[in-house]
């Protein structure tokens, strides 16, 4: 799903979540990819007959109006769109007794597999929300002999599930112990530590459909952890990379992802980092092929100079909609950046707008 499609879907869901019916009068219709529109229309016509029996006059009126609006809208379609169709319709008036029936119709960005008709006090949004969920989740483990952290990479978001401290002593000998005895005690404590981290990882990762596992840390502990009999077989088989990093706490999870771009090349977070790093590198080198700041970028777009418009999702819906329209009018590509990555935060701090140009403008 493209960033713009995600943005629009996310905002539609937010808008529809705010709408609540006084009674069961908000209608949701999902037509699956390849579904028969005639069958859907016939069902809605039958629902009209059923709605005539609703006792509350206002509710009956609102449901009938919504059904009629949907039926008329479906007449505009000769066949079901490739990915199916989703329709929401109902009275949105906040004043009792007043009618303001609105309809939203969406050709979803991904195929729909369910067929659904529901008349309720709220719209059914779960199938659309699932489209916004990360398609793949990666498990993250960073470890050394003093501490460890376990987390996930979900789309563009890095989540720290658990941080732990060990009781494995350093390599100095405690008073009164022989070097050999101390080393044996230390070795056994280290094995217990690795087993504990592995058990915590197993518990955490069992909650998600893990595509792959990344492991990192300073020094040789991470290799000992991976190569030993600590991780259960089903987790060990999913290890896709072991990286040398400087930290084994929550910050290490972020460093691990940054060091794993070769393994995560096609994932959302890496795509965002690549696009924004190109822009930020050009700024750092004082390139005249970039612009940033709302007014400067607007000016560049209207000169036809912008190849790629970068917008932070933090600038708000109104501004994003305005710039999407301008970009479309002047043939600029658009990338909407999150604030989940360090690069996305930098774009936000630059005013939320950036642009990579097609040509030099020589305009100050």
Structural contact between residues 213 and 223, judged by C-beta atoms closer than 8 angstroms: no
Per-residue tokens: 256: 């691990």
Nearest Cα residue to 13 out of 132, 161, 149: 132
* Contact criterion met (CB below 8 Å) for 253 and 149: yes
* DSSP character string of 324-338: HHHHHHTT-EEEEE-
Query: What are the respective helix, strand and coil percentages of the chain, to the nearest 5?
Result: 40, 25, 35
Give the separation between CA 164 and CA 211, rounded to whole angstroms: 24
Neighbours of 211 (CB within 10 A): 15
pLDDT for the residue numbered 176: 54
Position 2 scores a pLDDT of: 76
DSSP 159-191: EEEEEEE-----SSPPTT--HHHHHHHHHHHHH
Contact assessment for residue 90 and residue 66, using Cβ atoms and an 8 Å cutoff: yes
- Per-residue pLDDT in tens (0 to 9) along the chain, 364 residues: 577 888 899 999 999 999 999 889 999 999 999 999 999 999 999 999 999 999 999 999 999 999 999 999 999 999 999 999 999 999 999 888 789 999 999 999 999 999 999 999 999 999 999 998 878 899 999 999 999 999 999 988 999 999 999 988 776 555 555 777 877 888 889 999 999 999 999 999 998 889 999 999 999 999 999 999 999 999 999 999 999 999 999 999 999 999 999 999 888 889 899 999 999 999 999 889 999 999 999 999 999 999 999 999 999 999 999 999 999 999 999 999 998 899 999 999 999 999 999 998 876 5
Q: What is the pTM of this model?
A: 0.75
Q: Which CATH class is domain 15-132?
A: alpha beta
Closest CA to 66 of 94, 42, 98, 90: 90
Q: Which residues pair with 141 in a beta bridge?
A: 150, 215
Locate 357 and state its tokens.
């140009």
pLDDT at 40: 95
For the chain, the first-to-last Cα distance in angstroms comes to: 37
Strand partners, 90: 102
Q: What integer pLDDT is reported at residue 174 of this predicted model?
A: 54
CATH number at 137-264: 3.30.420.60
Nearest Cα to 155, choosing from 128, 131, 133, 134? 134
For residue 315, what is the DSSP state? Answer: G
Topology of the domain covering 269-357: 60s Ribosomal Protein L30; Chain: A; (3.30.1330)
What whole-number distance in Å separates Cα of residue 166 and Cα of residue 244?
A: 20
Place of tokens 């609540």: 20
Domain ranges of the chain: 15-132, 137-264, 269-357
Distance CA 336, CA 331 (A): 16
Which residue bears the tokens 């008709």? 117
268-284 and 342-349 are packed helices; what angle lies between their axes, rounded to 10 degrees?
Answer: 50
DSSP 8-state code for residue 209: -
Q: Give the per-residue pLDDT at 129.
A: 93
């Amino acid at each position: 799903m493209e960033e713009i499609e995600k943005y629009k879907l996310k905002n539609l869901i937010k808008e529809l979540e705010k709408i609540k019916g006084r009674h069961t009068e908000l209608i949701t219709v999902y037509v699956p990819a390849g579904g028969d529109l005639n069958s859907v229309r016939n069902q809605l016509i039958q629902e009209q007959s059923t709605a005539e029996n609703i006792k509350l006059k206002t509710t009956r009126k609102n449901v009938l109006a919504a059904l009629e609006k949907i039926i008329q809208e479906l007449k505009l379609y000769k066949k079901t769109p490739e990915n199916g169709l989703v329709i929401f319709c109902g009275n949105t008036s906040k004043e009792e007794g007043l009618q303001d029936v609105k309809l939203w119709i969406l050709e979803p960005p991904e195929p729909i597999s369910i067929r659904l008709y529901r008349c309720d006090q709220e719209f059914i949004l779960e199938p659309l929300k699932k489209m916004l969920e990360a398609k793949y989740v990666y498990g993250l483990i960073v470890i050394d002999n003093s501490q460890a952290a376990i987390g996930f990479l979900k789309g563009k978001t890095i989540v720290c599930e658990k941080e732990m401290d060990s009781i494995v002593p350093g390599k100095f000998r405690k008073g009164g112990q022989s070097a050999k005895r101390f080393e044996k005690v230390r070795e056994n404590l280290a094995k217990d530590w690795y087993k504990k981290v592995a058990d915590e990882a197993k518990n955490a990762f069992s909650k998600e459909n893990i595509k792959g596992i990344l492991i990192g840390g300073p020094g040789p502990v991470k290799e000992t952890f991976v190569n030993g009999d600590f991780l259960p077989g089903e987790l060990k088989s999913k290890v896709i990379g072991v990286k040398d990093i400087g930290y084994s706490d929550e910050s290490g999870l972020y460093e691990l992802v940054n060091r794993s771009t070769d393994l995560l090349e096609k994932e959302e977070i890496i795509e965002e980092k690549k696009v924004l790093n190109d822009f930020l590198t050009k700024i750092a080198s004082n390139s005249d092929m970039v612009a940033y700041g709302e007014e400067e970028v607007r000016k560049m777009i209207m000169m036809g100079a912008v190849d790629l418009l970068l917008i932070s999702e933090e600038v708000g819906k109104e501004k994003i909609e305005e710039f999407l329209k301008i970009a479309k009018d002047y043939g600029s590509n658009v990338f909407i950046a999150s604030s989940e990555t360090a690069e996305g935060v930098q774009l936000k701090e630059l005013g939320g707008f950036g642009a990579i140009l097609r040509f030099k403008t020589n305009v100050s």
